[in-house]
Amino acid sequence: MSVQHRYAPVNPVAERERDFLTKGINSAIARARLTVSSLESILAALRHKQATAEEVREFLKTEGLYELVTRYMRGAPL
């Protein structure tokens, strides 16, 4: 008795799209990790009084993270 395996045909367009999405997702994950690392560093500096609130606010604005932080704060100063 012989069992024959048929392989599904490879769709090169679908493979490229899958590879493109995989690389895009990996890039997004890396960016998210970088953002988390930056926020943790900023928090540590603020907590240990190595930076003032104004300095942290300016740094968050410079790095494009200010809106990410303030969206969760009720009555946050703008």
Q: What is the pLDDT of residues 2-27, one digit of tens each?
A: 667 777 666 778 888 999 999 999 99
Non-local (6+) Cβ contacts of 36 within 8 A are none
Q: What is the pLDDT of residues 33-49, one digit of tens each?
A: 999 999 999 999 999 99
Q: Full-prediction pTM beyond 0.75? A: no
pLDDT at 78 over 90: no
How far is 19 from 34, CA to CA, in rounded Å?
Answer: 23
Amino acid at 47: R
User: How many angstroms separate the Cα of 65 from the Cα of each of 12, 33, 57, 77?
Assistant: 39, 13, 9, 15
Confidence class for position 30, pLDDT limits 50, 70, 90? very high
Contact (Cβ atoms closer than 8 angstroms) between residue 33 and residue 23: no
